[in-house]
């Protein structure tokens, strides 16, 4: 009699969070192009705040596109680079908290696999947070471990690590999105 499927094996799950080795050169080129485009877009948009408002909608669009078909390498790289801006990352964090849809897990896993250092900590943290909020502690711990390897001092990851080590029930923590403005000054490093 076949065994029922259990939680993913640690080695399989970790491999799922690593960038694809054959495409690393293409990922690097896409990230470098996205860095240049980021600077040009901020200037074209008239400053960082206008760019932040515009890029926020691109994360929702990418989440929805992954459910239907896919997201281009260029768009994935642009979103990975955008997450380095802590205000953007924090807006995504609050957005996930307001709507812990499974599509966010798919998006953060997709972006984590398309991020190279120094860009990996943010999508890995968002994957860990989303998994934790949805009660998937295995994925949360694996993604958090990967994020902390990338950046041991990553403030948001340290916070989530404390919540996990204390055994905090994610259903008991109030939503970060509830009645909170999204000013850039509140960004957590």
d(CA 144, CA 132): 10
What pLDDT was estimated at residue 35? Answer: 92
Q: In the predicted model, what is the mean pLDDT of the chain?
A: 85
**Alpha-helix residue ranges (DSSP H) falling in the chain:** 10-16, 24-44, 48-68, 73-82, 86-98, 102-113, 121-133, 137-150, 155-165
What pLDDT was estimated at residue 176? Answer: 83
pTM recorded for the entire structure: 0.82
């Amino acid at each position: 009699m076949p065994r029922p499927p259990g939680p993913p094996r640690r080695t399989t799950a970790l491999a799922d969070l690593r960038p694809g080795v054959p495409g690393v050169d293409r990922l690097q080129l896409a990230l470098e192009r996205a860095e240049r485009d980021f600077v040009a877009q901020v200037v074209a948009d008239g400053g960082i705040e206008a760019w932040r408002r515009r890029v926020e909608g691109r994360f929702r669009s990418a989440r929805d596109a992954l459910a239907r078909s896919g997201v281009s390498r260029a768009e994935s790289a642009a979103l990975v680079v955008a997450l380095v801006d802590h205000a953007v990352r924090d807006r995504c964090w609050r957005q996930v908290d307001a709507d812990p849809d499974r599509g966010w897990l798919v998006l953060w896993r997709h972006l984590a696999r398309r991020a190279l250092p120094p860009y990996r900590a943010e999508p890995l943290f968002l994957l860990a947070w989303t998994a934790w909020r949805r009660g998937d502690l295995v994925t949360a711990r694996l993604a958090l471990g990967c994020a902390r390897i990338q950046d041991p001092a990553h403030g948001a990851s340290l916070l989530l690590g404390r919540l996990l080590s204390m055994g905090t029930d994610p259903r008991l923590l109030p939503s970060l999105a509830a009645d909170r403005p999204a000013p850039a000054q509140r960004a957590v490093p």
